[in-house]
Amino acid sequence: MKEQKISLFSVEEKLEQYGELGMVRLTTSEYQKLCLKLGEGVANELITDLDLYIAGNKNSEKYKKHYAVILTWARKKSQDFHTSRLQKGKNIIGL
């Protein structure tokens, strides 16, 4: 008897091109999730950053999952922002 594999994720979404140069590949649902999590402006800014990065770097093939890259970059920017605010506060207080 032949075993059948059943997948809950049998319908694969098509990757769409995003960014001015069209180098960023996301599904529609990934783009929507980015807009919900980050806000549309920030999501589009990070898409532009990744788009330009991919176009200008021959080592950009290492970025297979653009959705994950954008979330990682957003997290890093947020951490950098909070770190710089804390540092500014210490400088004002004189610590």
pLDDT 10s digits, 24-36: 999 999 999 999 9
The pLDDT of residue 37 is above 80: yes
What's the whole-number mean pLDDT along residues 65-73? Answer: 95
Reduced to 3 states (helix: H, G, I; strand: E, B; else coil), residue 16 is strand
Q: Which one is predicted more confidently, 12 or 54? A: 54
Question: pTM of the entire structure?
Answer: 0.72
What's the whole-number mean pLDDT along residues 51-62? Answer: 84
Which pLDDT does position 73 carry in this prediction? 94
Are 60 and 53 within 8 A, CB to CB?
A: yes
Structural tokens at position 72: 């990682």
